[in-house]
Each structure stands twice: as structure tokens, then as C-alpha cells.
Amino acid sequence: MRLTDEERAMLAGERGEPRRWAMDHMLKVGAMFDAEDFVPVAQAHMMVDPESVGEAGVRFLEGLAAHNEADRRVAVPMITDPRGVDLNHYRPLGQTEAMADLERRTIKALTRLGILMTNTCINYQTIMPPVMGEHMAYGDTGVVIYCNSVCGARSNFEGGPSALAAGLTGRTPRYGLHLDENRRATRRFIVRHQPRGLVEWGALGAIVGRLAGSYWEVPVIEGIETVPGSDELKHLGAAMASFGSTPLFHLVGITPEAPTLDAVGGTALAAHEITEADFASLTASYGSKGDPVDVVVFAAPQLSLVEMQRVADLVAGHQRYPETAMLVCTSPAVYADATRLGLVDTIEAFGAKVLEGTCFYNQYAREIGEANGWTRLLSNSAKIVNILGGYGYQPALRSAEDCVRAARTGRIP
Amino acid sequence: MRLELACHQGIGPKVEGKALVSADNFSARYDLDRLQGIFSRPEHALFGQSYVGKVLVCNTAKGGVATAWMLHEMASRGMAPKAILFNHANTILAQGAALADMALCDRFADGDITKLIETGDHVTVDPGRGIVLVERSG
């Protein structure tokens, strides 16, 4: 890779050990993907929940954080993805002191690195959405796919270590979605059934993601008749990224890089039709009418303020079925607003619990499932039902309305 | 039988071990019980099998970013695969291999790596040279 004088100095350790590690790490990754040089990034965003990071990862972070301030501080604004432990509510979930301690050590180390603990996967709705063409180093696949597709920003999937390397140096290897040629459509879909509600936007993402099936495929989707809102696009993208490891999609006439099919090179591609039967088939594979439900989860991605109001409206005046738990995960910023506006009180008066700054699937889902006897999980998030199959759950997928009905009756309506 | 397969330059050290092969995709978050060291997702082709110390061969990476930390965490406990081979890796697996110092290669010149290697083959992975040597007894 071609290096600037500053990059050579960082690699030689002249800007401290953390930046030397960061350059070495990024050169290894860049070589694998034939990057020719680095590109400056405006922000970094890091997935760093303790379940994934583990004792070894926390020690690694503490090692970086032990350096002097000039050497350890990140070079560009850097924010965090959801935490794994809500330190105000972990014992009732069956999370242990060891998990909480790992979380506290992680937070301490990241704070010393100058990282802003935003603890959110909806930074594009709550912190600062990127600008078209802006190069970023985002962690969390839902963040990456939304910001690439809806905002026209440029980011690869950056795992925690690479996001940190980008934050420490203010740059990332120029490969993948930083390059024009990798943003053109490779798979073409025509939608013959208009998605209704967030659950069907997620289902569409799941269907497309499963068919695309690779980081290196870029779906272009035609046939959407109305402009979806931010929450709809959030669920579409999060599910597509989860089912397909897909980092970018185009909606013809809607997303900024695809004013026309031709603009993303889609006209020569064979079209695959997505029908109502595809939606029905996907939903049918996740739960059946009458199935008992141990826990209802609203999460993945964290809920926006608008989704919080929707959940509050659905539960207001009702009571939760005593044998069915309900959890709602949102960001600290939304939590503060939702508290101020009385939404958290309404949701918790129903008997649900609102968690702040976490997301269900990255908060030791296996262990809290075992501690609480939860296996039959219901959600309106296609992303979460996809993930949790490997964590010992039997996940079911239904609309927000049906999720709340199940929380009231104990069964899928 | 002995096969020498060329691939793209990879990441990590030269290693050797027994192959565990499926045409399925891979995510540490979605598919594994990392404490037990086995595939735990019932739908996965390798469900119930141990990946510890194996040269894992899969089609491509799937899912999210967590695997970038998880490979390092698994390796720290001696509960990781020795190497992972893909038809196509994604960015996360490459980043995870870099942190964990785990061998990772992809883009094989001779076609579908999940068909070229069989479970139980003795495999030597040389990421720096972009060469994978396959030895099959019998």
C-alpha cells in the first residue's frame, strides 16, 4: 500500500504504540483486499459488547488505554454500539457480576481512549447521520447498510478492532465500499407485494439478504410504490445485513445512488420477483398461531422515539400476561426523551422493562435465556429471530401489534 | 492424493490440521456455542460438530461484526479453529483473523473450495504465499 509520511510515522511507532498497532492491523486487512492506499474517515463507530470481546479483548483494550493521553486518544469522533449489560438492570435478567465487571472495565478503557459512549446502533437516527459521499468506519451491520444505502455514505463492515484502528488513525484502507466499482448493483429484485409495517420491511430484507447471500453482492430493488420512512428502511437494512451479510442496497427512485435502475448498472441484470408468498413463507418459518411465548422482545435495531411511542400506544391500559416477559431496548438518547415524555412509564406500567443502551442479542442472550427459562421468543425484528436460533431459542416473527397481544395473552395470536 | 491450491494472499501464520468442511456459511455469533466449541445452530450443516483445532472450510461469511472480536476471544482460550478457508471471506472475518493471528484464506483459483477439500483431509495453509496443500489418505 502507498503510505503518506504521516502513515509511515504511525507505522514506525512515532505516534505511539496504539497507532502503530492500528496501522499494522489495517495493513494486514488492506493487503487481503488489495487496498492501494488509505482514505480519511470522518467518524468511527465500534461494536464492543463484552460477550463478544471477552476477557482477552478487554485486556487488549486496557493495554491500549494504559498509554499516555497523547498516544491513546482517538483522532476522529468515535462512538459505540449497544452495550451488553444495562448496569441499572442486570441482576433481574440473570446477568452476573462477572459480566457487569467486564462491562465496567470496557467502559473505563474506552472512555480513556476518548470514545463517546453513545451505546447505540441507531446513531443515524439519534446522533449524527452521515452526508452523501462521506467516508466512515462504522461497526454494526445495520448502521453500515443504512448509512451506505439511505445516506450514500461509504463504509465497510468494520468489526470492533478495525473500527478502533480507524478511530486511532483517522483513516481506513480504501477497499470494498469505499470504491465506486463495488457500489454498483449485482442482483436485481422486483417486489410484487408492498411491505406493510416494520415486520414486513424486515421480512423483505430477510428475503433479499438470503438470496443475495454475500458481502460482495449489491441488491437493487424495484417496485416499491411509496417512499418508506426511516424506521422502515432501518428494519429493511438490518434484516438484509443479518441474513445476507449485505452492506449496501439500492431502491430505485428512492435511495440517493439509484435515481434510475441504469444509474447503478442494473438494467442488464436478470430480475428476480418477490411475491406475497415469499413473505408468507418467511413468516411461517418463525412460529405458529397459538404457540406459547416466554419472552417478547422489541430490539435489533434499538427503537427510535417513534417506535417507543408506538409500543406505548399498543400497551397503554393493558396488563402483561404474568408468564410472558417483555423487553424493549433503546439507546440512551431515546431513553432520556422517552422517559421525559412518559413513554417509559407507560410501557413499564404494562409490565414490560425498557433497557437503556443495550440490545437483546448482544447481552449474553444464551445465559439470560437459561437464567429465565426463555426459549420461545417473539419479536417484530427479522434480524433478531435470525440471530437467536444459534443461541438456543425458538424464535418467532410477528407484527408489533401481535407481539403486544402475545405479551397480554401468552400465545401468538 | 496431494493437491496444491492457489488462493489470494491471506492473513495469519502458516498452520496445518484436519479439515472440517461444509458448503454452508459461517458466523461465530450466529452459529457457534463458543464455550463448548461446537456448532450450535440447528440449521447449520455442521450442527453438533467441534471446530476446535480444525481447518474450517465454508462457503462465505455471514451475519454481523461480532466475529471480529470473537475469533480473538476463542483463540485466547484455545477453543478456536486453526484456520478458516472460504470461497469468499468478508471484511469482518479478515479483521478478526488479523486480531486473532489466525490463518484465513479465500478466492481459490481452482473453484469451489468446499468441494476441493473433504472433511478429514490433512491441510496445510500458507496465507503469506496464498497456497493451501491438501493431503488425502486412501
A216-275 pLDDT, tens digit per residue, is: 999 999 999 999 999 999 999 999 999 999 999 999 999 999 999 999 999 999 999 999
What confidence category does residue B64 fall into, taking pLDDT thresholds of 50, 70 and 90?
Answer: confident
Residue range(s) defining the domain that contains residue A42: 5-180
- Structural domains in chain B? 2-135 (3.50.30.10)
Cβ <8 Å between A52 and B76? no
pLDDT in tens, A158-215: 999 999 999 999 999 999 999 999 999 999 999 999 999 999 999 999 999 999 999 9
A32 and A117 co-located in one domain: yes
Residues A112 and A50 occupy one common structural domain = yes
Verify that A262 and A396 share a domain, yes or no: no
Residue contact A157–B10, C-beta within 8 A: no
pLDDT at A346 over 90: yes
Are A121 and A166 contained in the same domain?
yes
What distance separates the 2 farthest-apart alpha carbons in chain B? Answer: 40
Same domain, A304 and A222: no
CATH number of the domain residue A17 falls in: 3.30.499.10
Other C-beta atoms closer than 10 Å to the C-beta of A111 total 12
Contacts of B43 in chain A (CB under 8 A): 389
Packing angle between helix A305-315 and helix A400-409, nearest 10 degrees? 40
3-state secondary structure of A153: coil
Q: Which of residues A130, A160, A180 is at a domain's end?
A: A180
Task: Please tell me whether residues A25 and A97 are part of one structural domain.
Answer: yes
Residue A20 has pLDDT above 90, yes or no: yes
How do strand B55-60 and strand B83-88 relate by DSSP bridges? parallel
Count how many pairs of residues, chain A against chain B, have C-beta atoms within 8 Å: 141
Q: Of A226, A257, A283, which residue sits at a domain end? A: A283
Q: What is the identity of the amino acid at A89? A: H
Q: Which residues of B touch A386 (CB under 8 A)?
A: 30
Q: Are residues A206 and A252 in the same domain?
A: yes
Name the domain boundary from A180, A200, A222.
A180
The reply to whether A154 and A10 lie within a common domain is yes
A302 lies in the same domain as A403: yes
The three cell numbers of residue A118 are: 453513545
ω before A50 within 30° of 0 (cis)? no
**Residues of A in Cβ contact (< 8 Å) with B8:** 32
Interface test with A, best of B7, B67, B69, B72 (most A CBs within 10 A): B69
Please enumerate residues of A whose Cβ is less than 8 A from a Cβ of B. Answer: 25, 28-29, 31-33, 47-49, 52-57, 60, 139-141, 156-162, 176, 213-216, 241-245, 362, 366, 386-387, 389-392
Q: Which residues of B touch A28 (CB under 8 A)?
A: 11, 94, 98
DSSP string, B22-87: -SS-B-HHHHEETTTTEE--TTSTTTT-B-TTSEEEEEEB-S-STHHHHHHHHHHTT-S-SEEEEE
Q: Do A266 and A381 belong together in one domain?
A: no
Q: Render pLDDT for A325-344 as a digit per residue (tens, 0 to 9).
A: 999 999 999 999 999 999 99
Which of A293, A369, A295, A290 has the alpha carbon at shortest distance from A325? Answer: A295
**Is B65 in contact with A33 (Cβ distance < 8 A)?**
no
Residue A98, judged by CB atoms within 10 A of its CB (0-12, 13-18, 19+), counts as exposed
Q: How many domains does chain A have?
A: 3
Same domain, A109 and A162: yes
